[in-house]
Structure 1
Amino acid sequence: MSQSDVVVVWFRQDLRLQDHKALYYAMKDAEQHNRSIMAVFHIHPALNESFTVRHDYFFRTVEDVAQQAQEYKIPFHFIEGDTEDAFRHLLEKVPAIKSVHFNLDEVGFGRKRDEHMTHWLETEGIQVHRYVDAHIHGAEEVEKPDGGFYSVFTPYYRRWSSLDKPAVFNVDKQKLQQYGTDFTKHFQGGSESFQNLIQKCTREWNHIGEKSAIQRLAYFLHNKVKAYEEERDFPAKRATSMISPYLKCGVLSPRTVYHKAMEVQQEYGEAKGLETFVSEIAWRDFYNMIYYVHPNCKDEEISSKYQQIDWNQDEELFEKWKNGETGFPIVDAAMKQINEIGWMHNRLRMVVASFLTKDYLMDWRKGERYFQDHLIDYDPASNIGGWQWAASTGTDAVPYFRVFNPTRQSERFDPDGEFIKRYLPALKHVPKKYIHEPSKMTEAEQEKYGCIIGKDYPEPTVDHKVMRKKAIAMFEGNEE
C-alpha cells in the first residue's frame, strides 16, 4: 500500500480522543497498512432543523474535541448534507480512502443510517469497521441462558454483571500525530456550516469536554460515591455524578467510567454506593437493548394492551406543566430546573413524568419529546425507557395502580424545601410546614410569608386524589 492511502474515523456521539474504539482500531489499520488517518464529522441537516439547548451543548462539545484533534495534527473534516451525498463528496475529494471506522448506533435514526451506509460504502469498495462503543455491552450481548432478551432489569443485571468487561482502549495521542492527515482545504463548505452552527450557540458552558469529564468523574468517585446510595434521591444535596451529559456526547467512554469505579473499589473496598452507581451504567445498556428489541417504542407503547389509551389532550394544562405552573412545588421546581440549565435530577424526572401521565392523564410521548428538546444529556433509549416506565406502558414499568403522590415525593426527598426554594423564589419565605402544599396557608399566612396563592404562586391545578382514581380507571379500562 502507498503512503497516500487513507483511513477514515467517522466521529459522531463519541467526542473524545481517549478510550475511543474506532480511533484505536483505525490507528492499528494505519500502522499495519502504512496509511494516514482522516477524522470526519458529518453535519446532517435533518438533525439540526431546530436548534435547542441540546444542540448548543453538543456542538460546543464538538468544537472542543475538534480543537484537541487539531493540536494532535488530526483535524476534523466537516462534511454536510444527506449522509450518502456527503460521503460521495468525501470519496470524490479523497479517492485514496480505503476504509471507514466508526462506533455504531444500535437504535433509532442512527441504526438505520449505519445499516444503509455500511451497505453503500461496501458497494463503493470501502472496507467498513463498526464497533460497539457507547455501551459496556451491546444490545445483543446480554442474553438469557436459553437465548432471547430480558425484559426485566434485575435478571438482566445479574447476567450483565457476570460477563467479562471490555478493557479501556488506550489511544497513544503522541503517536496519533504521526498518522493525521489534512484535507480541510477541500471541505470549506462543511467548515463554514459548522461555524454557522457554533454561531447559534448562546449558552456559556463551564464544563465542556474530555478534561472536565475526567475531573468530574474523579471528584465524584473519591468524594461522593460512598454516600451515593443514601443521598442520590435528594435533589438539594448535589449527590449525583453529573456525568450523564458526557456519556451522552461520548466525551466519556462507559468503559472508562466502569474501570475507574473498579479502581476505587480496590482502593476503598466494597461500598453500596459504588455498586448502585455501577448499576446505573447497566441501566443505560438495558434501555439500549430494549429500544433495539422494540424499535418502534419511541412512538408506541411497548405494552400492547395500553396502545389504545385515550390520553388527555388539554394543551393549557400541558403548558402549565412545561412552564412549572402546576401548583405542585416539587414538580414546578423540577421543570424550572430543566428549563434553566438543560438538566434535571433523576428522581425528579420520575416525579414530573408520573405527574404528567397520572395526574394530568397526558400522553407520555409529549413529555418525552419535551425532554428531547430540553435535556443536554438526552439519550433516546434511556429517556424513552424512563417515560414508558413512569407511564406504566413499558417493560419492567411501575404498575399502573402505583401512582406517585407529588406531595409525598416532595416531603420525602426535599424535606426542608431547599431545592424547591432554589428554583421557586416566590416560595422563599414559606416555612417548612407549608412548603410542599403552600395552598394550605391561610390568607393571613400568605400575607405574612409574601406568597399570595393564585398571584405569586398558582393554586394546585388538579386534585391528586381524584386524578389518581381516574388514572387507575383509565388503565383498568384498557386491561384485557
Structure 2
Amino acid sequence: MIWIHWFRRDLRLRDNPALYTAAIRSNGHVIPLFILDDAILRAPRTGAARIAFMIDALRDLDASLRARGSRLVVRRGRTLDVIRDLVRETGAAGVAWNRDYTPFARRRDAQVEALLRDLNVETSISEEAVILGPDDVRTGDGRPYAVYTPYWRRWRALVEQRRDELQHELEPPLFRQVSDHDADLAIPDAADLGITLSQHIPPGGETPGNARLASFVDLGAAHSIAGYADGRDLPAEPATSRLSPYLRFGCVAPRAALRAALRLLDRVDDGQNAERTVRSIETWIGELAWRDFYYQIMWHYPHVLQRSFKPQYDALSWENDLALFDAWKKGRTGYPIVDAAMRQLNQEAWMHNRARMIVASFLTKDLLIDWRWGERHFMQQLVDGDHAANNGGWQWSAGTGTDAQPYFRIFNPVSQGQKFDPQGMYVRRYLPELAQVADRYVHAPWTMPPAEQRRCGVVIGRDYPAPIVDHAERRMRALALYRAVSSVAL
C-alpha cells in the first residue's frame, strides 16, 4: 500500500506528524512529494529570498531522504492536477499533509480533499506548524482570544497541562525506494524559476536549522538563550535566535523549539545567573506563543490579511506619497535607525524585530502611508516572511490590529535609536557613510554643525539625506488622522 506525503511548509523529517502517519499507514511505502505551483511561485507577495531559501531546504530534505533510501519527488504544475496524476500513476491509497492556515491554503486544501474523496483515496491531516492549534486556546465562554496577554496565560497553562504530549519527539521514519516517473523533476536552481537573488540569506534546510537551534539553547555558547531577555531589543547585538526562516518553512518544528526551551528550564540550577536565564527562556517561549496567537487570529479573522482588524481604521485617510515610500524602501529617509533597518532588509532579507517595529511605526505614523503597503513590501523581501506574523506585527505597529499599540503611541525614531542603539553600532554597520559621526549625533546627524559635518566626512543633504519629514509635525498630523476615525478618546 502506497501513501503520498505532500510536503508544503514542513520541510523536515524529524517531528513531522503527517509524514510519520503516512509511513506507518504504508509500512514505509511513502512517496515524498513537493509541488512547485505557480499560484505560489508567481504570487505578488512571494519574494526571491524565500524561494531561494526554500530551494536550499528542498535540497537538504532530498539529501536526508536519500540517506534513508528514498528521495524527494518534485513536480511542477497546478496542485490539483499534480496530486490527481500522481495518485493515478502510483495507485496511492492515501495522501497525508500538515495543515496550513492562510485563506489560500484552506481553499486549496478543501479542493484537494474533495478530489481525493472522489478518487476514493484516504486523507490524513495533522497539526505541526503551531504548538497549540487555533481552536485549542479559548476564552472561558469559548471565543478566540483577541488580546495577547490573557491568551499567553492560557497558552502557557495548556503547555504545562500537555507537557508530556508536547515532549514526545517523532523520529524520522523508515522508507522504501521510490520508483522513477517521467514527470519527476530535478530540484531546480532559483535561476531556473526565473529568480534573481541580490540578498545574502542563511542556508535553508533541516540540518542548518537544527544546528542553529542547538547553538541557541546551548547555555555555554557565546550568544545563547540565556541573554535573550536583556539583549533581544538591541539590534546591534546577536541576541536573537535567528530561527524565524526555519520555523517559517518548517525546517525546525515549533514543538521542537518549545521542547528545547522546556528542557532547559528543567536543568537551570540555582547559580548566580539562574534568575536571568529563566527569565530569558520564558521570554523566548512567549515569542513562540505570539506566533501561535497570530495564527489563531488569521484562522478566526481571515479578513485581517486585507483589512484592519478594527474596522473603524479602514476609513483612515492615508496620504500614500510614492516618493516618501520609495525613500523608506531604499533606506534614504534621513533618520539613521530607520535607514539602517531598511538597508539590513535590502542586504539580508531579514530585519531585527525591534527595528521592524520602528520602521513600521515610521511608515504609518510619520509618512502616513497605509500599513498594507509596508506589509506587502516586507512579504516580498523577507526570507522569514510569514503571513500571520507579518500581518500581526504591522497591524500592531499601525494601531489597527488586535492587541495593537494605541494609535497615540508614536515611536520617535531619534529616541528609539538612542535607547536601543546607544553607541550607534547598528547604524554604522548598515550606514557606513555615518561611520565617523560622533555618538551624540549619530541618530540625528542633521543637528551636527557644518564644521563637524566636514570633519567626519558627511555633509547632510549630500552624503546622507536630510530628514524627509519633520517628526514632530507629522506626529500631530498622524494623531489628527487617527482621531478622525477612532472611538478611543485621548
Range 21-30 or range 360-369, more displaced: 21-30
Matched, 1:273 2:280: yes
Q: Post-superposition shift, 1:472?
A: 0.8
Matched, 1:477 2:484: yes
TM-score normalized with structure 1 length = 0.94
Hey, what does 2:264 align to over in structure 1? 264
Which residue among 109, 114, 117 is the counterpart of 1:114? Answer: 109
SS at match of 1:191: coil
Would you say the 8 A contact 2:54–2:204 is kept in 1? no
Matched, 1:62 2:55: no
Give, in whole Å, the separation in 2 of the partners of 1:460 and 1:69.
53
Which residue among 213, 216, 222 is the counterpart of 2:212? Answer: 216
State the AA in 1 paired with 2:284.
F
* Cα separation, partners in 2 of 1:198 and 1:67, compared to 1, 3 Å: farther
Q: Post-superposition shift, 1:227?
A: 1.6
Hey, what does 1:226 align to over in structure 2? 226
Hey, what does 1:167 align to over in structure 2? 166
SS at match of 1:215: helix
Hey, what does 2:345 align to over in structure 1? 338
Give, in whole Å, the separation in 1 of the partners of 2:47 and 2:413.
32
Q: How does 1:327-406 map to 2 (within 5 A)?
A: 327-406=334-413
Q: How does 1:56-135 map to 2 (within 5 A)?
A: 56-94=52-90, 96-135=91-130
Hey, what does 1:53 align to over in structure 2? 49
Give, in whole Å, the separation in 1 of the partners of 2:201 and 2:423.
30
State the AA in 2 paired with 1:344.
M
Give, in whole Å, the separation in 1 of the partners of 2:189 and 2:31.
17
Would you say the 8 A contact 1:75–1:180 is kept in 2? no
Would you say the 8 A contact 1:59–1:198 is kept in 2? no
Q: How does 1:433-448 map to 2 (within 5 A)?
A: 433-448=440-455
Hey, what does 2:272 align to over in structure 1? none
Give, in whole Å, the separation in 2 of the partners of 1:479 and 1:135.
33
Q: Post-superposition shift, 1:274?
A: 0.5
Would you say the 8 A contact 2:361–2:411 is kept in 1? yes
Identity of aligned residues (%): 37
Hey, what does 1:466 align to over in structure 2? 473
Hey, what does 2:242 align to over in structure 1? 242
Would you say the 8 A contact 2:53–2:203 is kept in 1? no
Range 72-81 or range 14-23, more displaced: 72-81
Which residue among 159, 173, 182 is the counterpart of 2:178? Answer: 182
Matched, 1:44 2:43: no
Report the aligned-residue RMSD: 1.8
* Cα separation, partners in 2 of 1:426 and 1:138, compared to 1, 3 Å: same
Would you say the 8 A contact 1:134–1:250 is kept in 2? yes
Range 206-215 or range 124-133, more displaced: 206-215
Give, in whole Å, the separation in 1 of the partners of 2:47 and 2:142.
42
Matched, 1:22 2:18: yes
Give, in whole Å, the separation in 2 of the partners of 1:292 and 1:205.
29
Which residue among 330, 335, 339 is the counterpart of 1:323? Answer: 330
Q: Post-superposition shift, 1:110?
A: 1.3
TM-score normalized with structure 2 length = 0.92
Matched, 1:153 2:148: yes
* Cα separation, partners in 2 of 1:172 and 1:277, compared to 1, 3 Å: closer
Would you say the 8 A contact 1:79–1:90 is kept in 2? no
* Cα separation, partners in 2 of 1:348 and 1:478, compared to 1, 3 Å: same
| Structure 2 segments unaligned to the other structure (5+ residues) | 270-274
